[in-house]
Structure 1
Protein backbone atom coordinates (compact mmCIF):
# COMPACT_ATOMS: atom_id res chain seq x y z
CA UNK A 1 0.00 0.00 0.00
CA UNK A 2 1.39 3.38 -0.94
CA UNK A 3 1.95 6.10 1.65
CA UNK A 4 -0.73 8.18 -0.06
CA UNK A 5 -3.25 5.32 0.17
CA UNK A 6 -2.31 4.69 3.79
CA UNK A 7 -2.73 8.38 4.63
CA UNK A 8 -6.16 8.44 2.98
CA UNK A 9 -7.21 5.28 4.82
CA UNK A 10 -6.04 6.72 8.17
CA UNK A 11 -7.92 9.96 7.52
CA UNK A 12 -11.06 8.03 6.59
CA UNK A 13 -10.79 6.00 9.80
CA UNK A 14 -10.47 9.17 11.90
CA UNK A 15 -13.53 10.70 10.25
CA UNK A 16 -15.52 7.49 10.70
CA UNK A 17 -14.66 7.40 14.42
CA UNK A 18 -15.42 11.10 14.97
CA UNK A 19 -18.70 11.04 13.07
CA UNK A 20 -19.83 7.85 14.78
CA UNK A 21 -19.07 9.40 18.17
CA UNK A 22 -20.95 12.58 17.27
CA UNK A 23 -23.99 10.65 16.07
CA UNK A 24 -23.94 8.46 19.15
CA UNK A 25 -23.79 11.53 21.41
CA UNK A 26 -26.70 13.11 19.51
CA UNK A 27 -28.78 9.96 19.86
CA UNK A 28 -28.05 9.60 23.59
CA UNK A 29 -28.29 13.30 24.48
CA UNK A 30 -32.08 13.35 24.94
CA UNK A 31 -31.96 10.15 27.01
CA UNK A 32 -29.44 11.71 29.41
CA UNK A 33 -31.32 15.03 29.53
CA UNK A 34 -34.60 13.27 30.34
CA UNK A 35 -32.85 11.71 33.35
CA UNK A 36 -31.31 15.04 34.38
CA UNK A 37 -27.82 13.81 33.53
CA UNK A 38 -24.97 14.58 31.18
CA UNK A 39 -22.91 11.91 29.45
CA UNK A 40 -19.88 12.54 31.73
CA UNK A 41 -22.13 12.36 34.81
CA UNK A 42 -23.53 9.03 33.67
CA UNK A 43 -20.02 7.76 32.91
CA UNK A 44 -18.98 8.70 36.45
CA UNK A 45 -22.08 7.16 38.07
CA UNK A 46 -21.82 3.94 36.07
CA UNK A 47 -18.09 3.63 36.78
CA UNK A 48 -18.55 4.16 40.51
CA UNK A 49 -21.46 1.72 40.46
CA UNK A 50 -19.30 -1.01 38.97
CA UNK A 51 -16.01 -0.19 40.78
CA UNK A 52 -17.59 0.79 44.14
CA UNK A 53 -15.03 3.37 45.35
CA UNK A 54 -12.28 5.18 43.47
CA UNK A 55 -9.87 8.01 44.06
CA UNK A 56 -10.36 11.01 41.80
CA UNK A 57 -7.20 10.00 39.87
CA UNK A 58 -8.44 6.44 39.37
CA UNK A 59 -11.84 7.74 38.32
CA UNK A 60 -10.16 10.09 35.83
CA UNK A 61 -8.29 7.14 34.28
CA UNK A 62 -11.40 4.96 34.18
CA UNK A 63 -13.65 7.60 32.63
CA UNK A 64 -10.96 9.23 30.49
CA UNK A 65 -12.06 12.60 31.84
CA UNK A 66 -9.83 15.60 32.29
CA UNK A 67 -9.11 16.89 35.78
CA UNK A 68 -10.93 20.20 35.24
CA UNK A 69 -14.02 18.63 33.71
CA UNK A 70 -14.14 15.73 36.16
CA UNK A 71 -13.88 18.11 39.13
CA UNK A 72 -17.01 19.91 37.91
CA UNK A 73 -18.83 16.64 37.20
CA UNK A 74 -18.03 15.26 40.66
CA UNK A 75 -18.91 18.55 42.37
CA UNK A 76 -22.31 18.58 40.65
CA UNK A 77 -22.97 14.93 41.49
CA UNK A 78 -22.02 15.59 45.12
CA UNK A 79 -24.35 18.62 45.26
CA UNK A 80 -27.13 16.43 43.85
CA UNK A 81 -26.48 13.91 46.64
CA UNK A 82 -25.50 11.13 44.23
CA UNK A 83 -21.77 10.87 45.08
CA UNK A 84 -19.88 11.31 48.33
CA UNK A 85 -16.21 11.67 49.24
CA UNK A 86 -15.22 9.36 52.07
CA UNK A 87 -12.13 8.04 53.82
CA UNK A 88 -10.50 5.09 52.07
CA UNK A 89 -10.93 2.03 54.28
CA UNK A 90 -7.49 0.71 53.22
CA UNK A 91 -5.60 4.00 53.63
CA UNK A 92 -7.23 6.33 56.16
CA UNK A 93 -5.19 9.27 54.79
CA UNK A 94 -6.73 8.93 51.32
CA UNK A 95 -10.16 10.00 50.11
CA UNK A 96 -12.32 8.06 47.68
CA UNK A 97 -15.51 8.75 45.81
CA UNK A 98 -18.45 6.40 46.07
CA UNK A 99 -22.13 6.41 45.23
CA UNK A 100 -24.61 7.40 47.88
CA UNK A 101 -27.79 5.34 48.25
CA UNK A 102 -29.48 8.00 46.07
CA UNK A 103 -26.71 7.55 43.49
CA UNK A 104 -27.22 3.78 43.43
CA UNK A 105 -30.95 4.36 43.02
CA UNK A 106 -30.34 6.83 40.16
CA UNK A 107 -28.26 4.20 38.34
CA UNK A 108 -30.95 1.57 38.94
CA UNK A 109 -33.74 3.90 37.76
CA UNK A 110 -31.87 5.10 34.67
CA UNK A 111 -30.53 1.75 33.48
CA UNK A 112 -33.75 0.56 31.74
CA UNK A 113 -34.04 3.77 29.67
CA UNK A 114 -30.32 3.61 28.92
CA UNK A 115 -30.59 0.00 27.77
CA UNK A 116 -33.63 0.75 25.59
CA UNK A 117 -31.76 3.60 23.90
CA UNK A 118 -28.71 1.42 23.32
CA UNK A 119 -30.92 -1.29 21.85
CA UNK A 120 -32.39 1.24 19.42
CA UNK A 121 -28.91 2.35 18.40
CA UNK A 122 -27.21 -1.05 18.22
CA UNK A 123 -30.22 -3.28 17.58
CA UNK A 124 -29.47 -3.46 13.86
CA UNK A 125 -26.09 -5.07 14.49
CA UNK A 126 -25.97 -8.82 14.93
CA UNK A 127 -23.98 -10.29 17.84
CA UNK A 128 -20.99 -11.12 15.64
CA UNK A 129 -20.81 -7.54 14.33
CA UNK A 130 -20.96 -6.21 17.87
CA UNK A 131 -18.22 -8.56 19.08
CA UNK A 132 -16.01 -7.69 16.09
CA UNK A 133 -16.50 -3.95 16.65
CA UNK A 134 -15.74 -4.28 20.37
CA UNK A 135 -12.61 -6.33 19.67
CA UNK A 136 -11.36 -3.84 17.08
CA UNK A 137 -12.00 -0.82 19.31
CA UNK A 138 -10.25 -2.48 22.25
CA UNK A 139 -7.24 -3.17 20.02
CA UNK A 140 -7.25 0.45 18.90
CA UNK A 141 -7.50 1.70 22.49
CA UNK A 142 -4.55 -0.48 23.55
CA UNK A 143 -2.44 0.76 20.65
CA UNK A 144 -3.31 4.37 21.46
CA UNK A 145 -2.42 3.84 25.11
CA UNK A 146 0.90 2.28 24.13
CA UNK A 147 1.64 5.14 21.74
CA UNK A 148 0.96 7.62 24.56
CA UNK A 149 3.35 5.70 26.87
CA UNK A 150 6.03 5.59 24.17
CA UNK A 151 5.74 9.35 23.61
CA UNK A 152 5.54 10.28 27.30
Structure 2
Protein backbone atom coordinates (compact mmCIF):
# COMPACT_ATOMS: atom_id res chain seq x y z
CA UNK A 1 0.00 0.00 0.00
CA UNK A 2 1.39 3.42 -0.91
CA UNK A 3 1.92 6.27 1.52
CA UNK A 4 -0.84 8.86 0.97
CA UNK A 5 1.42 11.70 2.17
CA UNK A 6 3.08 13.46 -0.79
CA UNK A 7 6.84 13.69 -0.73
CA UNK A 8 8.18 17.11 0.19
CA UNK A 9 10.21 17.70 -2.96
CA UNK A 10 10.55 20.79 -5.12
CA UNK A 11 8.81 20.56 -8.45
CA UNK A 12 11.09 19.38 -11.22
CA UNK A 13 10.84 22.89 -12.70
CA UNK A 14 12.48 24.29 -9.54
CA UNK A 15 15.01 21.51 -9.02
CA UNK A 16 18.60 22.63 -9.53
CA UNK A 17 19.82 19.18 -10.67
CA UNK A 18 16.99 18.97 -13.21
CA UNK A 19 17.63 22.53 -14.41
CA UNK A 20 21.32 21.72 -14.89
CA UNK A 21 20.46 18.60 -16.89
CA UNK A 22 18.00 20.52 -19.09
CA UNK A 23 20.57 23.28 -19.67
CA UNK A 24 23.27 20.72 -20.51
CA UNK A 25 21.00 19.03 -23.02
CA UNK A 26 20.20 22.37 -24.67
CA UNK A 27 23.89 23.24 -24.97
CA UNK A 28 24.95 19.80 -26.16
CA UNK A 29 22.48 19.52 -29.06
CA UNK A 30 24.55 21.46 -31.62
CA UNK A 31 27.76 19.87 -30.35
CA UNK A 32 26.30 16.38 -30.74
CA UNK A 33 25.29 17.25 -34.31
CA UNK A 34 28.85 18.34 -35.07
CA UNK A 35 30.31 15.23 -33.47
CA UNK A 36 27.96 12.85 -35.28
CA UNK A 37 29.31 14.17 -38.59
CA UNK A 38 32.89 13.36 -37.58
CA UNK A 39 32.20 10.03 -35.89
CA UNK A 40 33.08 10.99 -32.32
CA UNK A 41 31.18 10.72 -29.09
CA UNK A 42 30.95 13.52 -26.54
CA UNK A 43 33.30 11.59 -24.28
CA UNK A 44 35.89 11.10 -27.03
CA UNK A 45 35.71 14.81 -27.90
CA UNK A 46 36.26 15.75 -24.23
CA UNK A 47 39.23 13.40 -23.99
CA UNK A 48 40.85 14.88 -27.09
CA UNK A 49 40.24 18.43 -25.88
CA UNK A 50 41.69 17.70 -22.43
CA UNK A 51 44.78 16.02 -23.87
CA UNK A 52 45.31 18.88 -26.33
CA UNK A 53 44.94 21.47 -23.59
CA UNK A 54 46.91 19.81 -20.78
CA UNK A 55 49.24 17.42 -22.61
CA UNK A 56 50.03 13.81 -21.76
CA UNK A 57 48.68 12.60 -18.43
CA UNK A 58 47.91 9.48 -16.49
CA UNK A 59 44.55 7.79 -16.78
CA UNK A 60 43.33 8.93 -13.36
CA UNK A 61 44.05 12.59 -14.12
CA UNK A 62 42.41 12.22 -17.53
CA UNK A 63 39.27 10.71 -16.01
CA UNK A 64 39.03 13.62 -13.59
CA UNK A 65 39.63 16.37 -16.16
CA UNK A 66 37.33 14.79 -18.77
CA UNK A 67 34.60 14.12 -16.18
CA UNK A 68 34.52 10.38 -16.81
CA UNK A 69 34.48 7.34 -14.55
CA UNK A 70 37.64 5.21 -14.77
CA UNK A 71 35.88 2.02 -15.97
CA UNK A 72 34.18 3.98 -18.78
CA UNK A 73 37.41 5.75 -19.66
CA UNK A 74 39.30 2.47 -20.04
CA UNK A 75 36.74 1.19 -22.56
CA UNK A 76 36.67 4.49 -24.47
CA UNK A 77 40.46 4.68 -24.64
CA UNK A 78 40.67 1.21 -26.20
CA UNK A 79 38.47 2.35 -29.08
CA UNK A 80 40.33 5.62 -29.46
CA UNK A 81 43.65 3.81 -29.54
CA UNK A 82 42.35 1.47 -32.25
CA UNK A 83 41.37 4.56 -34.30
CA UNK A 84 44.84 6.00 -33.60
CA UNK A 85 43.37 9.12 -31.98
CA UNK A 86 45.43 8.65 -28.82
CA UNK A 87 48.57 6.82 -27.76
CA UNK A 88 49.19 5.05 -24.48
CA UNK A 89 52.48 4.16 -22.86
CA UNK A 90 53.79 3.05 -19.50
CA UNK A 91 55.04 5.77 -17.18
CA UNK A 92 58.84 5.52 -17.05
CA UNK A 93 58.91 6.27 -13.30
CA UNK A 94 56.07 3.87 -12.41
CA UNK A 95 55.45 1.15 -14.99
CA UNK A 96 52.03 0.43 -13.45
CA UNK A 97 50.74 3.86 -14.52
CA UNK A 98 49.59 4.49 -18.07
CA UNK A 99 50.24 7.81 -19.77
CA UNK A 100 47.80 8.91 -22.46
CA UNK A 101 48.57 11.51 -25.12
CA UNK A 102 46.80 12.81 -28.18
CA UNK A 103 48.00 11.35 -31.48
CA UNK A 104 48.34 13.22 -34.76
CA UNK A 105 44.96 11.89 -36.00
CA UNK A 106 43.23 13.12 -32.83
CA UNK A 107 44.89 16.51 -33.09
CA UNK A 108 43.85 16.66 -36.74
CA UNK A 109 40.20 16.01 -35.84
CA UNK A 110 40.31 18.87 -33.36
CA UNK A 111 41.96 21.20 -35.87
CA UNK A 112 39.48 20.27 -38.60
CA UNK A 113 36.54 21.11 -36.34
CA UNK A 114 37.80 23.97 -34.19
CA UNK A 115 36.05 26.61 -36.30
CA UNK A 116 32.66 24.91 -36.03
CA UNK A 117 33.14 24.33 -32.28
CA UNK A 118 33.96 28.02 -31.82
CA UNK A 119 30.90 29.05 -33.84
CA UNK A 120 28.69 26.93 -31.59
CA UNK A 121 30.26 28.43 -28.46
CA UNK A 122 29.92 31.94 -29.85
CA UNK A 123 26.24 31.41 -30.66
CA UNK A 124 25.58 30.44 -27.06
CA UNK A 125 27.55 33.43 -25.83
CA UNK A 126 25.63 35.77 -28.14
CA UNK A 127 22.25 34.42 -27.03
CA UNK A 128 23.12 34.56 -23.35
CA UNK A 129 25.33 37.63 -23.47
CA UNK A 130 28.97 38.00 -22.46
CA UNK A 131 28.28 39.10 -18.89
CA UNK A 132 25.71 36.39 -18.18
CA UNK A 133 28.05 33.80 -19.70
CA UNK A 134 30.83 34.96 -17.38
CA UNK A 135 28.48 34.94 -14.38
CA UNK A 136 27.15 31.49 -15.23
CA UNK A 137 30.66 30.06 -15.51
CA UNK A 138 31.59 31.65 -12.18
CA UNK A 139 28.47 30.25 -10.47
CA UNK A 140 29.02 26.79 -11.92
CA UNK A 141 32.62 26.94 -10.71
CA UNK A 142 31.32 27.67 -7.21
CA UNK A 143 28.94 24.71 -7.41
CA UNK A 144 31.80 22.50 -8.60
CA UNK A 145 33.93 23.50 -5.60
CA UNK A 146 31.14 22.88 -3.04
CA UNK A 147 31.73 20.16 -0.49
CA UNK A 148 29.58 17.07 -1.06
TM-score, structure 2 normalization: 0.83
Residue 8 (1) aligns with residue 18 (2): no
- Segment drifting more, 17-26 vs 49-58: 17-26
CA displacement 1:92-114 (0-9 Å, x = unmatched)? 52320001122222211121111
| Structure 1 unmatched runs, 5+ | 1-6, 148-152
Distance 1:70 1:50 in 2: 18
- Segment drifting more, 134-143 vs 28-37: 28-37
Tell me the equivalent position of 1:64.
67
Distance 1:34 1:117 in 2: 15
Residue 38 (1) aligns with residue 41 (2): yes
- Segment drifting more, 65-74 vs 77-86: 65-74
- Segment drifting more, 126-135 vs 116-125: 116-125
CA displacement 1:59-107 (0-9 Å, x = unmatched)? 1111120122211211111111110002335x25232000112222221
Tell me the equivalent position of 1:3.
none
Tell me the equivalent position of 2:105.
102
Could you tell me how far 1:12 is from its partner in structure 2? 2.7
Tell me the equivalent position of 2:3.
none
Structure with greater proportional helix content? 1
Could you tell me how far 1:9 is from its partner in structure 2? 8.3
Distance 2:54 2:131 in 1: 28
Tell me the equivalent position of 2:5.
none
Task: Spell out structure 1 runs of 4+ moving beyond 3 A.
Answer: 7-11
Distance 1:121 1:135 in 2: 16
CA RMSD between the two structures: 1.9
Distance 1:126 1:120 in 2: 10
Give the aligned length.
138
Tell me the equivalent position of 1:4.
none
In the TM superposition, 1:16-31 aligns within 5 A as 16-31=19-34
| Structure 2 unmatched runs, 5+ | 1-8
Distance 2:142 2:127 in 1: 23
SS for the counterpart of 1:85 is: strand
Distance 2:94 2:19 in 1: 46
